[in-house]
Structure 1
Amino acid sequence: MDTMGIIFSNVHDGDLKELTEMRTFASVPFGGRYRLIDFVLSNMVNSGIHNIGIVAKANYMSLMDHLGNGREWDLDRKRDGLFIFPPFARQDPDIGVYKGRLEALAGILTYIRRSAEKYVVLANSDIICNMNYRDVIRYHEEKEAEITVIYRKMTVSESNAPRCTYFYFDPDQRLSGMAVRPPYGGEQNVSFNMVVMERGLLEHIVKEASAYHYQSFDRDFLQRRCRDFKVYGYPFEELYLRINSIAGYFDANMRMLDPATRNELFYSHGSIYTKVRDEIPARYPGESMTRNSLIADGCVIEGEVEDSVLFRGVHVGKGARVKKSILMQDTRIGENACLTYTILDKDVVILPERILTGYGSYPVVISKGSIV
């Protein structure tokens, strides 16, 4: 497909502050063995996109370690492939790194200009779905659009509204207006923060944004200029999960316990790929018990695990009980400890007899490497 992709890895860091202190949003672990970026990256590769740039901003060591040279996604190529762009330096050191999509794109304008593809797909990592971008490009061409935005019609609560962007369309699906971080909810056309346009148009937009010091693509450009371009909306109507808060992240992982959800997210338009790490199978010695849980390779379960997601190398001690929890790589749970509604980052140690209890809407989060 004559299309390149650009993924922004840090845009939503503030939504998962407890989990992004030492990593980018895109590299947050998900579903027992994956990272959030695996979904959008795999969707692009499965759609025939093989020139993909990853825009980083801060704490990108784990992202680079996970992606490597892109071999798992068939992106270790002599031509095109995977490109990771660290934050660019500014002439004025007081300004710091970029603050929005447009400034980030200005920093990689040479990469965009030197690419040969006709179209470009811009995306974040906060939407978990299995999407075929070929369908979006086909729609873009049928509408003779200059810009196509991907959205979902849904009911939005008032508390979630400030995290969203709403689109308003005419009967032909042409964008007529939009609201960025609105204070109201209701049934709305909610942006997926995914955009398709011709590469040449993107160059023009980035140059104009630099001249006027625009930062946000939605607020500073699209909202002001949507009537100056042929902007159309593409409705995505299949299963998706949105990660825009700790509670949303917890709920999305819990939904992965449903086989129907897993099958649709991982296989409907192609497989979701990730970095492969060889481990021995999980072991269940003694009187261990598990119910309705995802247990990754390398785990040792000596206690009870129910309705939980365990990443590689987790050890649950004798008599320990883990329920409705997410335990990331190499976590250690001491004997007779009890965890309910918790999220434990990598390398956490829970001492024997400890009790941690949260709520579904407010799970307890323990940061990486902590001893509790």
Structure 2
Amino acid sequence: MKPILGITMGDAAGIGPELILKAFAVHGLDRCCRPLVIGSLATLEFYRDRLGIPASFRSVGSAGAARYEPSTLDVLDLGIVDVPRLKIGVVDSNPGKAAVVYTQEAGRMALRGDIDAIVSAPLNKEAMRAAGYTFEGQTQILGELAASKRYGMILLLGNLRVMMLTTHCALQEACRAVTKERVLGMLTLSDESLRTFGIRSPRIAVAGLNPHAGEGGLFGREEVEGSVPAIEAARTAGIDAVGPIPADVVFLKARDGEYDLVLAMYHDQANMAGKLLGFGEVVTVIAGIPFIRTSVGHGTAFDIAGRGVADEKNFVFAIEKAAELASLKKG
């Protein structure tokens, strides 16, 4: 039986609702999953009418009440969004709050086993902060909800997989985070995650932080004092980890199949590699939580929201990957 995917609507002022409408009206993704949108029915109807995308909806009170019929998209209508006052493409606390609530409800449903995986449309961090939340993003929302001690984000692009040592923080904070304990923890998490992907003997490369991976301490001590001891400890524990390898070559080696995953040191190091090799095709997966969650590799795109020009391809990839991983998990 096809997996049930809980699809969170994201920030209503962004392109999330449009991505959902296009993914199912144009691509017929009910072929790979049973979709349940978690969000605002009134918002979806608003964008359907505004953009002229043919779609019909059914409001349901739970995943168990959904019918999952090809002609109708089931919606767990949590409301919250003040649609008459919605300002498309503008940071606002109302849709910011709604996006967080949708994500949290999806997480609770996944923990209960009501859904097999989550696919997240993007939320806006500024709007989320305006609503009073201090989360770095959806990774932290779901990681804390699941009470996971260690979690992280993996970027997927074809053969390229990238785990981030740090995510949304200042670069100076990312540099301070390159410690033996943190690097070893993320290497362990990476190894565990790759095995859930069906990779029996994962090969993991650690990217350097400094130019030329520090040149033995000439250009910074982070590698010598943090990455190298962590790699040695990981290898002692049976993890096939190598590095640190200069960031200007390690991602190409991974793309060509030499490694199964690269542990990047900071957010932009990981994202620049992925987006240069295939912008619009990157899918993110949260590692370290007890359920599957995928999302897109881009944000809310307020600059084009409500115009009908958003490219849903990345969102389609995220849905397909979630369905694939959920089916793999169910055996």
Q: TM-score, normalised by structure 1?
A: 0.29
* Structure possessing the higher relative contact order (Cα contacts under 8 Å, 6 or more residues apart): 2
Give the structure with higher Rg (CA): 1
Query: Which of the pair is proportionally richer in strand?
Result: 1
